[in-house]
Amino acid sequence: MSLLTPTIRPSVVARLNPVAKLAVALTVSCALLLSIDWVSAGVALLLEAVLLVWSGLSARQFWLRTAPVWIAAPMASITTVLYGEDSGALLWQFGFISVTEGSAQLGLAIGLRVLAIGLPGIVLLATTDPTDLADGLAQVLRLPARFVLGGLAGLRLVGMFIEDWHCLTLARRARGVGDGGGVRGAARRFFGPAFSLLVISVRRGSKLATAMEARGFGSDEPRTWARLSQVRAADAVLVGVGCAISGIAIAVAVWAGTWSFVLA
Amino acid sequence: MPAPTSFTPGREPHRRAVQIRAHDWGWRHAGRHNPAVSGLGLQIEPGERVLLLGASGAGKSTLLHALAGVLGDAEDGDATGSLLIDGRRAAEARGRVGLVLQDPDSQVVLARVGDDVAFGCENLAVPRAEIWPRVRRALAEVGLDLPLDHPTSSLSGGQKQRLALAGVLAMQPGLLLLDEPTANLDPEGVIDVRDAVVRSLDLSGATCVIIEHRVEVWQDVVDRVIVLDPAGGVLADGATRDILASQGERLAQAGVWVPALPPRFPTRHPVPQPQTLLRAEGLMVGRVPFGRRTASVVADNITLDVRAGTASVVTGPNGAGKSTLALTLAGLLAPAGGMLRASDAFSAGIRPEPHRWRSTQLLTRIGTVFQDPEHQFLAATVRDDLLIGPRALGLSVVQQTSRVDELMLRLRLDHLADANPFTLSGGEKRRMSVATVLATRPRLLVLDEPTFGQDSRTWQELVTLLAELLDEGTAIVAVTHDAQFVSALADEEYRLGTPDPIRLGSGAL
């Protein structure tokens, strides 16, 4: 498995057009950013959890990929509970730290929100091949080919950075500057190879650009696409589901009276 | 799927071989004082196969890039005279010309084999229905029998070069340009790529211009040799055999590998009773993959001795773990299992496991020359870079300077003392990377593919220098694919995948 050719198990979600997935992730995020309350985020998260079953990710893959969100959510939540704006009854106090009903509720809302926005985004992207995404961006959204394909080709260099970084650190050890020197030494050991990596990467990038240009890339002539990317009925359904999740989440929050429009 | 659009007249594939005409052509890169090429006049007829030779700096690559239309415009440099492809300016002939470059890694554009080959066709606006048959045909021509969705990242160097060739062939060019296509490949990859080129030329009849300093590989493929003069224009032009006979001496001096004039092997003076420095028994080597904790073993059951004044070479197929073994012996990677110990005489008072030595303790014991010289450059000038090792050893300023000055003279780097190491030529970078290591006088030198892609002159200098070091008692471990290097220096060959080292016995043993 690698960054550019991820092993994606065939699943309902994996077959969908990446642009539709992107649209859903953006719709849900925007809807949830309009208010900070625990009901809308909770409802959205619940509905998403049902849909994640169809993602085709194995349990291991799911937890591994979404780990950052599971760590970030409680952190954001606890920070808000402890330091968030106080309102309502005082529940607990220690020095300048105070937990009130208001800050507790806000913390819950923030935590759920991070999950409800983060999880579907990561899961949808984990089931997307970067090449397919580029095809979608260029053919469905009509973004400029030069920009999309340039970015895609550049992504391939990331794998090489890792290999280069490894070699650079070994080389520093071989040259007698691989350890010692305390904090300053450690800083030098990071910034030294970082600069070399920059030089080597720029060099690689310009070679790649020449190779692409030699194959006719970058002219103003129209180009064709070997892989067809189009929006099918299933993609429309997915976007519909995304809108429905957002709509239901907002409706329930308004009905429960917790909706607080951030722009109001 | 929509019906494929029909061909528009101007966009038909150009299967016809093209003609090249240069009249007093020249090019000066922006910001440079001297032109890279000047006063060039030549004519290449459709279907001709030409080997382009010349000293480094004679402008071979510049000419090839110009023919491929990738030199850029007035902002990138000044052109003089004319360079025409079928009577049109080279820059307008894009799509009729295919270019394969030297570095296998920087030519792969997309993540999957089929998509990568299709890339050029897409840019030429070939209809979708036509692209995939072309992709399959091109892959068959270069002998890459892989599924279309095979990841390009898992290909070997030779396979990547054949992939690049397929990507160009699918565009059906009338002119195929090859810029040192086999310089960075192992011997097997060289033959595969060469044969793929010949097969495709036989099928298409396209005109072909090749730059390559290993003449032996291509001399039977081409029917004409053109030698560029670094002072401008053409030095010699004619049938392969005639040119190699009349210009052989001159070309060999310029670093071209002329088959009739192989480099000389140095005479060795073996050290009596060589001391053992390192001993490996049942050694397993591997790397820790990114984001993992345990090493994945690439080679195991390695038993060998590294002795003073003795050259041991590690050979074997790609992916057998040669470089990993070298880095482990060099004390840069921890063994994945088994035993690797330095003798008491070698460790001289510190613990016996090289990978646990401090960075500065390695300096006087083991020096490592990496495959890519750029990976080991640390400073902004050649002199400063060479001073890093001696300074880390705590030598006096006088000692530091005298050591570095002596080394720069010995490796012909003195005129480059203030140059940035990254701006040196390929041969200079190699000499420089060896110099950085020699500056601390290590007793063991570990080299990873030291002669890869080097011209015959640098090769000769490197082999001579290593022979001198061996005579002085330095131990050498070298990973190599280069059969001539093995013949010239190796006392012992360790072929990965076979149980025991092979004693060659030319030197100390």
Does residue B502 or residue A209 have the better pLDDT?
A209
Nearest to A242 by CA among A68, A50, A48: A48
Q: How far is CA B360 from CA A118, A203, B277, B484, in A?
A: 47, 31, 18, 34
Q: What is the pLDDT of residue B10?
A: 36
Model confidence at B485, in pLDDT bands (50, 70, 90)? very high
Residue B239 has pLDDT above 80, yes or no: yes
Give the closest of B106, B114, B122 to A224, CB-based.
B122
Question: Is B19-106+173-253 CATH 1.10.1330.10?
Answer: no
Model confidence at B470, in pLDDT bands (50, 70, 90)? very high
Do residues B98 and A214 make contact, with C-beta atoms less than 8 angstroms apart? yes
Would you tell me which residues 342-371 of chain B have a C-beta closer than 8 angstroms to some C-beta of chain A? 358-360, 362-363, 366-368, 370
Does the beta-carbon distance from B95 to A216 stay under 8 Å? yes
Tens of pLDDT, residue by residue, chain A (264 residues): 456 667 677 777 778 899 999 999 999 999 988 888 888 999 999 998 888 877 777 888 788 888 888 999 999 888 888 887 777 777 777 777 778 888 888 888 889 999 999 988 888 888 888 899 999 999 999 999 989 999 999 888 887 888 888 899 999 999 988 887 778 878 877 887 888 888 888 888 888 999 999 998 988 788 999 999 989 999 999 999 999 999 999 999 999 888 887 776
d(CA B462, CA A142): 54
Strands B77-85 and B20-29: antiparallel
Does the beta-carbon distance from B107 to A208 stay under 8 Å? yes
Model confidence at B7, in pLDDT bands (50, 70, 90)? very low
Helices B397-410 and B382-392, axial angle in degrees (round to 10)? 130
On chain B, the residues whose CB falls within 8 A of the CB of A185 are none
Residue B2 has pLDDT above 60, yes or no: no
- Strand, coil or helix: what is B257? strand
Do residues B199 and B164 make contact, with C-beta atoms less than 8 angstroms apart? no
Question: Is B276-503 CATH 3.90.1150.10?
Answer: no
On chain B, the residues whose CB falls within 8 A of the CB of A131 are 110-112, 115
DSSP B268: P
Looking at B393-455, list the stretches that DSSP marks H as alpha helix, in order from N- to C-terminal side: 397-410, 426-438
Asked if the domains B19-106+173-253 and B276-503 are classified in one and the same CATH topology, the answer is: yes
Q: What is the pLDDT of residue B450?
A: 92
Q: What is the pLDDT of residue B8?
A: 37
The pTM score is 0.83
Burial B70-94 (b: 16+ CB within 10 A, else e): bbbeeeebebeeebbbbeeebbebb
Nearest to A175 by CA among B325, B57, B184, B330: B330
Do residues B157 and A11 make contact, with C-beta atoms less than 8 angstroms apart? no
In angstroms, the separation between the Cα of residue A225 and the nearest Cα of chain B is 6
Nearest to A20 by CA among A127, A104, A150, A174: A127
Do residues A168 and A196 make contact, with C-beta atoms less than 8 angstroms apart? yes
**Angle A95-A97-A100 (CA atoms, 0-180°, nearest 5)?**
125
Nearest to B211 by CA among B176, B168, B179: B179
Tokens of B6: 């029909």
Residue B435 has pLDDT above 50, yes or no: yes
Tokens of B293: 């904790």
d(CA B398, CA A245): 75
On chain B, the residues whose CB falls within 8 A of the CB of A164 are 375
Q: How far is CA A140 from CA A17, A83, A186, A222, in A?
A: 9, 45, 47, 16
Domain limits, chain B: 19-106+173-253, 276-503
Q: Per-residue pLDDT tens for B10-25?
A: 333 446 899 999 999 9
Residue A108 — φ and ψ, nearest 5°?
Answer: -60, -45
Q: What ipTM does the predicted assembly reach?
A: 0.83
Q: Does B82 touch chain A (CB under 8 A)?
A: no
In angstroms, the separation between the Cα of residue B331 and the nearest Cα of chain A is 8
Do residues B22 and B81 make contact, with C-beta atoms less than 8 angstroms apart? yes
